[in-house]
Amino acid sequence: MASSVIYSPSTAAPSSSHTKLFKICNIKQQNAKFISPSSFLGKNLAISNDLNTKKLRSMKKRSSLVNCSVSPPAPPAALLFDCDGVLVDTERDGHRVSFNDTFTERGLGVSWDVDLYGELLKIGGGKERMTAYFNQVGWPEKAPSGDAERKEFVASLHKRKTELFMALIEKKLLPLRPGAAKLIDQALAKGVKVAVCSTSNEKAVSAIVSCLLGPERAEKMQIFAGDVVPRKKPDPAIYTLASTTLGVDPASCVVVEDSAIGLAAAKAAGMKCIVTKSGYTAEEDFENADAVFDCIGDPPEERFDLDFCGSLVVKQYAS
């Protein structure tokens, strides 16, 4: 079982290790300062001590000297983001609304409320979600009866739903989650390959990346989405495809996900995975995650950064 870092900004306090670090580094405050949990995470602490035992016992004497330096780890080879719930919290007020508007336009008499849609999100992929729902509760009267025709029917619904969803994105009615743009900028500045790996339609994901992250970031990022792989998350196919296409070792990749099925896909692909909980996924089981946060976060409320991502990869190779 993987060890996880779980951080809750409302309740977290420096751990005992941070407390010890504070005591060591403040032997002479003008030469060292306390490193906060958010900035300490992800960095290798190197402490050089030129004191002998007797001098340590007499720290009150101002002749003591401790030098603390922080050396950031090498960044991961690739940073892979899920889209919905990670870059943007789109599910409840974006995708769900667009599904319902499509059902209304087609006169299907179907509406997914907030709780129901939360259950349906356990199924990866919009077309797969609709198919599973109709198979369980019964197909609408206007739906065809043959399997091939029903597949086309679902595809047409999904196409229209994507158009409606893209209109929401283009109007910028759904903002980026805190820290997403910051972490992408840090990665691109260090030459880290950045990609988005999503079960959502490729057009919808591209719209989010180009409209909300901007064209300059978008042109430096690759998108793996929709039906680019035959099996959706929790199958690892999309992450395996990303690492192969980008030419990087899966073990050197760090994934940012928000759901249990995304976490399962990332781990099955042999990658490190950080979970940033979203509105629908807060209560899911993330025991196997390498770290769990409520978001990525922007300063001064930053939860983690690229150095922290790099530390996870260093840990893997060191273990």
226 — alpha (psi -120 to 50), left (phi > 0) or beta? Answer: left
For residue 101, is pLDDT > 80? yes
Query: How many whole angstroms separate alpha carbon 112 and alpha carbon 114?
Result: 7
Domain 78-88+176-318: which CATH number of 3.40.50.150, 3.30.1360.70, 3.40.50.1000, 3.40.718.10: 3.40.50.1000
At 190-235, the pLDDT tens digits run 999 999 999 999 999 999 999 999 999 999 999 999 999 999 999 9
Domain boundaries, given as residue ranges, for the chain: 11-71, 78-88+176-318, 91-170
pLDDT of residue 178: 96
Q: What is the pTM of this model?
A: 0.75
Query: How many whole angstroms separate alpha carbon 154 and alpha carbon 165?
Result: 16
* Three-class SS state of 91: helix
To the question of domain 91-170 being in CATH 3.90.1150.10, the answer is no
Catalytic positions: 82, 84
At 26-57, the pLDDT tens digits run 322 333 223 333 434 444 443 334 444 444 44
* Three-class SS state of 319: coil
The answer to whether the CB of 77 falls within 8 A of the CB of 58 is no
pLDDT of residue 319: 54
